[in-house]
């Protein structure tokens, strides 16, 4: 599975770059969470196409993708600093799960809009614009607290 370490390194590098640029962990976590949820959905779709099914497939794949990023962050000390908290939760963890939730809600909205429009989009690149717009709004909201 060469993708897994590469993704972990890429995400860790992204967090390092964000820290270097002065971007708060809360905001970078939002984008990491959306990326991880996207990997989760992509893996599920890949397995569906290959007709691969196994017990607790979705929860296990979810835990795999999130664990492959969060566990190394815990081990190297990126997550867990006592002064890096938001509402009592580590900023990166809070951002990751907030980004995941907002990204999934944006996907649900996009699917609903497509459904009420007989399977067609209302505008070009709707499938990309809506989730990115939701993530930008969440990032701007969090930037007010950082």
Could you read off the pLDDT of 97-126 as tens digits, one per residue? Answer: 999 999 999 999 999 999 999 999 999 988
Query: 95: which DSSP letter?
Result: H
Predicted confidence at residue 1, as pLDDT, reads 35
Q: Can you give the pTM of this predicted structure?
A: 0.84
Sign of the CA dihedral running 110, 116, 121, 122: negative
Write down the residue that tokens 């890949």 correspond to: 46
| Average pLDDT estimate for 131-146 | 89
Predicted confidence at residue 2, as pLDDT, reads 33
Angstrom distances, CA of residue 58 to CA of 2, 8, 32, 70, 103: 21, 20, 19, 18, 17
């Amino acid at each position: 599975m060469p993708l897994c370490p590469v993704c972990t390194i890429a995400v860790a590098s992204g967090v390092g770059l964000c820290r270097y640029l002065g971007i708060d962990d809360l905001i970078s976590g939002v984008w990491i969470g959306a990326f991880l949820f996207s990997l989760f959905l992509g893996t599920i779709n890949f397995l569906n196409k290959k007709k691969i099914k196994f017990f607790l497939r979705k929860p296990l794949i979810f835990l795999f993708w999130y664990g492959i990023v969060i566990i190394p962050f815990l081990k190297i000390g990126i997550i867990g600093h006592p002064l890096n908290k938001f509402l009592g939760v580590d900023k990166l963890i809070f951002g990751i799960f907030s980004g995941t939730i907002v990204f999934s809600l944006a996907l649900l909205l996009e699917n609903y809009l497509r459904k009420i429009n007989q399977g067609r989009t209302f505008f070009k690149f709707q499938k990309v614009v809506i989730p990115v717009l939701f993530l930008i709004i969440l990032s701007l909201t969090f930037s007010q607290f950082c």
